[in-house]
Structure 1
């Protein structure tokens, strides 16, 4: 027997149970069922924006967490959701119950559900609920040093156009000084992508408190005359290898953003190369990134630098909304 608890806040015991479930799913499936954003919400909360769905299952050891789902509202957009079922409790209809509960609790604009890794089980669950593929997010990778199969690609020296060098300087992010200006640029750069463009000051500060955060790998292109940030490349290091190694740290192009006023200037490519060379010079063997499959200019840029498709995430929804 199972029941689902829906709440907007988790206590310490519930947080630990969800994190443990996420680790077990990762070990079994080889892919994270819950995104970084969801895990931040689990650990820190976001009252008024988030809903947590906890599926408890009765066992001879009492009630245990068999599944978990999360949904977050964004103004003017469908809710964004994810779910995970513990391997020991799969094929019992728990995933479908969580999915139905997510849709029953969704806002007026409906719901979109992310499936990470594009696994067969997720495709089957989506089909059983009448969901269709709405969007794809590519996960790409690039070796930063030679492997058994291939030599590491050459990373060109960043060569900014005169317009960039005459106006902007590229430096590292200054914690306590750059946050609000970075938020302005990020919102403009990702105005059409609410997941990234909607990041708040508290969201940013939560990331600054994460163990992986390193301002030395967070590059911003700034106009020194007024302090305006024209673009940025925020890199990240995954201490656990992110599935690319057996525990040796790897890098990530966490996010690259360029203010619309500077798009088409070549600034994005310059910043990308600055960050990639930083990760290479740290001795990391691989770098990964996520990019929307419909973002053809970005895909072309990353392919030109040697990135190849590795995995993909899929967003599902109902077209009648």
Structure 2
């Protein structure tokens, strides 16, 4: 089966393939396909160079998508394959094509996340990848949220047009030095704030006067026939750490998601980050699975 570069004329075929991998209802389908399509336009991605399609008889049977994160020397690989091709040489060739591309653009390391796919994990290890991180998949599905008051002097507000610069600075400051975090640009923040799975109301900012102390970026994800709320990122600016405001912004964000009548709320967190896992467990999140991050050194 040939592997070809993505271009706009292949968009409909790629979206048809993405839909085939999921069991979406009409509402979930619109959300899932719209989000995937818009993700190809994130500034700096260049899908014509970094997205590869496995085709058979003109139909897409698999894809690999490489997200360049060269400021930290890495590229992140995302992929999907038809179920009857899992663990085959065709899937391996998609991985190799993306790894070659990562080397060509100067990345020092390639990362890929694997969830519930033993054949892919085995294939990656045979290619020289090693497991370097285990993230927890956590879900909240209770009836009530714990009580929480906003600390005196602080306010929680929604993202507004014009906030992108301040939010970019806060996010980059909050996550500087964290494993796998690549600093965002203002253009990327602005673009992501307008994607179909995101709304201005769902990006909550905790202000101390006119200063940004922390934020939580929520989004929506298709879940079979319904919609799941997602805590995408939650960060606290270093000077405000240790004051319990992570819990404040987390619960405010969960309250917002509950107002949308989502089926449940999920998040992913580094299993070795004990303060974070303790926080999420304390408000009722439960671990439901693991996601394994694999790494290949390229230099």
Q: TM-score range by the shorter chain?
A: 0.7 to 0.9
Change (3 A) 1:273 1:105: same
Corresponding position of 2:11: 15
Q: Distance in 1 between matches of 2:111 and 2:298?
A: 15
Corresponding position: 1:234 with 2:224: no
Aligned counterparts of 1:318 and 1:43: Cα–Cα separation in 2? 26
Cα deviation for residue 265 of structure 1 reads 0.9
Secondary structure in 2 matching 1:106: helix
1:169 aligns to 2:149 (yes or no): no
CA drift of 1:40 comes to 4.1
Match of 2:235 among 257, 268, 271: 257
**CA contact 1:103–1:110 (8 Å) conserved in 2:** no
C-alpha contact (below 8 Å) 1:144/1:287 kept by paired residues: no
2:80 to 78, 84, 103: 84
Q: Quick check: 2:4–2:53 contact (8 Å CA) kept in 1?
A: yes
Which structure has the greater CA radius of gyration? 1
- Describe the superposition over 1:244-285 as per-residue Cα deviations: whole angstroms up to 9, x where unpaired: xx4233322122111011111111111111112233344434
Q: TM-score of the superposition, structure 2-length normalised?
A: 0.84
Equivalent residue for 2:89?
93
Q: CA offset at residue 56 of structure 1? A: 2.6
CA 1:255/1:310 → structure 2, altered by over 3 Å: closer, same or farther?
same
CA gap 1:248/1:82 in 2 versus in 1, 3 angstroms: closer
Q: Which runs of 5+ in 2 are unaligned?
A: 25-31
Could you list the runs of 5+ residues in structure 1 that have no partner in the other structure?
Answer: 29-33, 146-153
Contact 1:81 1:111 in 2 (8 A): no
How far is the alpha carbon of 1:194 from its aligned partner?
7.2
- In structure 2, which of residues 51, 56, 65 is the aligned counterpart of residue 70 of structure 1? 65
Question: What residue in structure 2 maps to residue 55 of structure 1?
Answer: 54
Instruction: Give 2:147's aligned residue.
Output: 157
Counterpart among 172, 189, 195 of residue 210 in structure 1: 195
Q: Secondary structure at the match of 1:291?
A: strand
Tell me the residue number matched to 1:220. 205
Whether the aligned pair in 2 keeps the contact of 1:115 and 1:122 (CA below 8 Å) is no
The 8 Å contact of residues 45 and 67 in structure 2, kept in 1 or not, is answered as no
Larger RCO: 1 or 2 (CA < 8 Å, sep 6+): 2
